[in-house]
Amino acid sequence: MEPPSSSSSSSTSSSRSEQYRNWLELPRDVTASILQRLGAIEILESAQKVCMHWRNLCKDPSMWRAIDMRNREDWDTSFDPEKMCRHAIDRSSGQLRDINIEYFGTDDLLKHITHSSSQLRHLCLVSCYSITDEGLNEAAAKLPLLEELEISLCSFSKEPLMALGRCCPLLKSFKLNQQGSRSPHIEWDEEAVAVAESMPELRHLQLFGNKLTNDGLNAILNGCPHLESLDLRQCFNVYLSGDLGKRCAEQIKSLRRPNDPTDDYEYAAGIDDDGSFDEDDPSGMSDIDYLSEGYGYYAFSGESDFSYDDFTDYGDFYDFGDYYFG
């Protein structure tokens, strides 16, 4: 058998070269676009450790205009997410526009966010049980450019919601979501009234699992004349019949009714009818609920015994701390 010709070998080599392209040869903007599809956790925990080129790119403030710190069920609980979030915010160098936080967060972290950037357009707080009315109220005054706000599975009174409406005149989208329940039967229009009285420019409103009544809904329709979409799924105190149903159909372009399907809702949509209820918490969730298995990340709101300084051996590039804080 004759050995392969030089042209054949060259062709094979070229084919392999095309098959295994060097990612470091990608243009900087393309690499940045790929990395930005990762969350902040993945960037800090993995991507920036791949090579010097990626590390330098991950330190660019433009990479941190959006910070996604939403949890996954398999999230490693050995590190301190609040400390990591603060570092991500610091890397933005004042360019932060969009931040999502889930299962952790304190008044101090919220203060750090609002003090670090005056450009915030989007804020999402999910299951942030350690942020207080006072902390949210104080933060509201520093969010004049906010356009989109989500507060899901948290419990705040009417006052900070009113403050957000007054201090955020550009607010166009608001999500205020809870876990739906039919019992115990609770009617609670305070949040609906806060929206109606302070957020006249809203276009999109989601009140999943809210305990508002027809009175609260009427107040919203009166106070938010520009409303285009309204999500009332699992709002079981609302009855869209008669004049109110007709008014909603005429005024709202996209209406989700209390018993509409929840397939596209991004959180657990199971109805809680076990009767657990704390009279001091209008959300219908007790302290025991917050600490139950479904809220297993509650401990993130406190101090962690874990320290980045505990680890120093992470290969030949840098020590562990330098990966994050260098």
Contacts of 302 (CB under 8 A, 6+ apart): 130
Provide the pLDDT for residue 8.
53
Provide the pLDDT for residue 23.
65
Rounded to the nearest 10 degrees, the angle between the axes of helix 214-223 and helix 242-251 is 30
Residue spans of alpha helices (H) in the chain: 6-19, 28-35, 40-45, 52-58, 81-91, 107-116, 133-140, 158-167, 190-198, 214-223, 242-251, 287-291, 320-325
Provide the pLDDT for residue 226.
98
Provide the pLDDT for residue 4.
55
Provide the pLDDT for residue 56.
85
Provide the pLDDT for residue 42.
85
Sheet with 204-206, edge to edge strand ranges: 66-69, 98-102, 122-126, 148-152, 173-177, 204-206, 229-231, 254-256
Instruction: Give me the residues of the chain with pLDDT under 70, please.
Output: 1-25, 71-77, 274-326
Provide the pLDDT for residue 12.
53
- pTM over 0.85? The answer is no
User: Around Cβ 226, how many Cβ atoms within 10 Å?
Assistant: 11
- DSSP conformation letters of 148-173: EEEEES----HHHHHHHHHH-TT--E
Ramachandran category for residue 103: left, alpha or beta (phi over 0 → left; psi -120 to 50 → alpha): left
Q: Which long-range contacts (CB under 8 A, 24 or more apart) does 72-80 make?
A: 75/41, 75/297, 76/45, 77/297, 77/299, 77/300, 78/306, 79/45, 79/304, 79/306, 79/308, 80/300, 80/303, 80/304, 80/306
Provide the pLDDT for residue 21.
66
How far apart CA 46 and CA 50 sit, in angstroms, is 7
How far apart CA 106 and CA 110 sit, in angstroms, is 6
Residue spans of alpha helices (H) in 127-241: 133-140, 158-167, 190-198, 214-223
